[in-house]
Structure 1
Amino acid sequence: MEKNVGQLDKTARIILGITLIVVGIVTKSWWGAIGIVPLITASLGNCPLYSVLGVSTCSKKEQK
């Protein structure tokens, strides 16, 4: 699997994922479970939607 999520994008996904989970817990809503998706894509370094669209936020040396 080729990486297509750069460092800045990865950091933003982690912050967004944690925020969604916390908001879901505070509001007692299952919508907080959506926060898992950005955390998974950040940890894998690959976003399936980016692959389909041909987008990459990685620098050339990060892709290796």
Structure 2
Amino acid sequence: MNVGGVDRILRIAAGLILIVLALLGQIGAWGFIGIVPLATGLFRFCPAYKLIGFNSCPLRKNSE
């Protein structure tokens, strides 16, 4: 786990908003890119964070 707290909530909210807007036709099909932040928020893991060595989860900073 490398996504925590506010970061996780913002990812889930942004992902849901993008997906709903895409389903409603308010934004184009590109809105389904919201699946990415939604998944990273739900699974609490971001591959990009892993690549750059960043961790926003305070409980796991020293365990990896």
- Judge same fold: TM > 0.5, yes or no: yes
Aligned residues: 60
Structure 1 residue ranges, 4+ long, deviating more than 6 angstroms after superposition = none
1:24 aligns with 2:22: yes
- Superposed CA RMSD in Å reads 1.5
1:13 alignment counterpart: 11
Identity across aligned pairs (percent)?
A: 40
Give, in whole Å, the separation in 1 of the partners of 2:57 and 2:22.
Answer: 30
TM score, norm. by length of structure 1: 0.81
TM score, norm. by length of structure 2: 0.81
Report matched runs for 1:42-53 at 5 Å.
42-53=41-52
Structure 1: runs of 5+ lacking an equivalent: none
Structure 2: runs of 5+ lacking an equivalent: none
Letter in 1 for 2:38: L
